[in-house]
Copies of this chain bind each other. A is one copy, B any other.
Amino acid sequence: MQGLTELLKGSLEGIVLQHISCGETYGYEITHYLIDLGFEDIVEGTVYTVLLRLEKKGLLTVERRPSDLGPQRKFYQLNDAGADYLATFWKKWAFLVDKMAILEGEQKNDNSK
């Protein structure tokens, strides 16, 4: 799916947080997970900037450990603040999904006189 850029604003952060909440992981893995999920146009740069932002917000714990395949990996885990933030995110998302469903269900009222 293409042209999701604007819709992803705000959601991508939650998407990344949610994936990290499933277990410790790192940027490169997250990127390929998202591509496999169907977000084909996501590139590494995008994911890394999200991760750095989440880290600056104090939502993640970070640990660098060597990889057996390449450079060091930067492993992330959710901390308590991250879990709270993620819970709030899902509430907002549920609100939006609910309102969008209401809107989508509304039919065209014929204004022809």
Contact = CB atoms under 8 A, between A and B. Distances in A.
A15 B111 contact: no
Contacts of A97: 97, 100
A96 B11 contact: yes
B7 A92 contact: yes
Stoichiometry (number of copies): 2
Interface of A: 1, 3-11, 13-15, 18-19, 21-24, 37-39, 88, 90, 92-93, 95-97, 99-100, 102-104, 106-111
24 contacts: A1-B92, A1-B95, A4-B96, A7-B10, A7-B92, A7-B93, A8-B10, A8-B96, A11-B96, A11-B100, A14-B100, A18-B104, A18-B106, A19-B103, A21-B108, A22-B108, A22-B109, A23-B109, A23-B111, A37-B102, A37-B103, A90-B104, A93-B100, A97-B97
